[in-house]
Amino acid sequence: MNLFILTGAGVSAESGLGVFRGPGAALWKRYNPIRLATPEAFAHDPALVHDFYNTRRRNLIAASPNAAHVALARLEAELARRGGAFTLVTQNIDDLHERAGSKNVIHMHGELLKARCASCGAVRDCRDDLSVDSRCGCGGALRPHVVWFGETPLDTDEIYEALAAAEIFVAIGTSGAVYPAAGFVRAARARGRRCCELNLEPSGNAEEFDDRRYGAASEIVPSWVEEILAR
Ligand code: BV8
Ligand code: ZN
């Protein structure tokens, strides 16, 4: 079996990390993530954008993976044992998939626990606050290693290759609002692949999916994984 899984903010919602849209988005009282996750916002007010990511980085370090992350890590391991193929692409910038045991995670929107040098491009681990004074060894300013709106997602060649090879495409906890991720289901359907949506409620592109399961990720993902492994 060759599975391609795309996760979004909904898979981390029950770990207490904010979602951008839909149920739970009320978490964003002080910040408007859609406005702040842009190069323009960072150029205009870098201290505010650093504050936004520093707050999320601290929340993430204090958070834990939930049963959905654990179930996906088990699925990856079991499919590898059976000689199957499994690709996990996440729009999330948290490390909860990895902390739950997932081995190969493609972070197409970057990673909150990494920083990048605006001058030389060097990427390093970052678990502390960043500020406008944070510098790379080369003297360049450091920014969060995340993909903002208007910036190019990471690893797109690898992603589209894996998507072309997959038999089943599964979207978990994503609103289908952000491209190019929101277009993956259409690419899978164009190849006649089976498409499954797991979400708290129908996403913006729910009608593109053959199989739709609704409920909290920490409940529906483990039972869906059990079903897949029982096949
Ligand atoms: C690009 C990192 C070119 C930063 C993020 C018009 C048409 C098409 C495209 C565009 C357009 N105008 C502008 C664009 C491009 C733009 C875009 O799509 N804008 C949207 C708003 C229209 N896209 C870009 O700019 C991208 N770059 O296009 O470059 C290109 C293209 C192809 C190839 C090369 C170059 C870059 C976008 C990346 C932006 N960065 N994150 C950060 O995190 O701060 S996006 C941000 O939204 C997060 O990553 C978030 O994960 C992501 C997507 O949202 P979701 O993950 O789906 O989360 P959301 O909150 O929306 O939904 C939560 C879901 O969970 C809901 O469905 C809810 O029901 C569900 N849920 C809630 N609780 C639970 C649950 N499900 C289960 N259980 C629960 N308990
Ligand atoms: Zn540098």
Residue 188 Cβ inside 6 Å of ligand 1? The answer reads no
Segment 89-105 mean pLDDT:
98
Mean pLDDT for the chain overall = 94
Residue 152 Cβ inside 6 Å of ligand 1? The answer reads yes
**Tens digit of pLDDT for each residue in 130-141?**
999 999 999 999
Residue 82 Cβ inside 6 Å of ligand 1? The answer reads no
**Tens digit of pLDDT for each residue in 11-34?**
999 999 877 776 666 555 667 777
**Tens digit of pLDDT for each residue in 62-88?**
999 999 999 999 999 999 999 999 999
Looking only at the bridges linking them, the beta strands covering 105-107 and 123-125 are: unpaired
Residue 28 Cβ inside 6 Å of ligand 1? The answer reads no
Looking only at the bridges linking them, the beta strands covering 168-172 and 2-7 are: parallel
Give the residue, 193 or 32, on which the prediction is more confident: 193
* % of the chain exceeding 90 in pLDDT: 90
Q: What spacing in Å lies between the alpha carbon of 181 and ligand 1's midpoint?
A: 7
Q: What spacing in Å lies between the alpha carbon of 194 and ligand 1's midpoint?
A: 22
Domains of the chain: 1-17+66-109+153-231 (3.40.50.1220), 23-62+112-146 (3.30.1600.10)
User: If pLDDT is split at 50, 70 and 90, which confidence band does 146 have?
Assistant: very high
Segment 120-127 mean pLDDT:
98
Report whether pLDDT(53) > 80.
Answer: yes
**Tens digit of pLDDT for each residue in 42-52?**
999 999 999 99
φ/ψ of 187, rounded to 5, equals: -65, -40
User: If pLDDT is split at 50, 70 and 90, which confidence band does 35 have?
Assistant: confident
Residue 26: per-residue pLDDT: 55
Alpha helices in 66-206 (DSSP H): 67-81, 96-99, 156-165, 184-190
Q: What spacing in Å lies between the alpha carbon of 114 and ligand 2's midpoint?
A: 14
Residue 40: per-residue pLDDT: 95
Give the Cβ contact number of residue 124 at 10 Å. 12
Residue 29: per-residue pLDDT: 61
Residue 28: per-residue pLDDT: 56
Q: For ligand 1, what atom is nearest to the CA of residue 23?
A: 72
Residue 49 Cβ inside 6 Å of ligand 1? The answer reads no
97 a catalytic residue = no
For 12, 182, 204, the CA distances from 175, given in Å and listed in that order, are 13, 8, 6
Residue 143 Cβ inside 6 Å of ligand 1? The answer reads no
Ligand nearest to the CA of 116: 2
Residue 113: per-residue pLDDT: 98
Measuring from atom 53 of ligand 1, which residue has the nearest CA? 178
Ligand nearest to the CA of 124: 2
Q: For ligand 1, what atom is nearest to the CA of residue 14?
A: 80
Q: What is the pTM of this model?
A: 0.95
**Tens digit of pLDDT for each residue in 204-219?**
999 999 999 999 999 9
Q: Which helix (H) or strand (E) holds 54?
A: helix 46-62
Q: What spacing in Å lies between the alpha carbon of 199 and ligand 1's midpoint?
A: 15
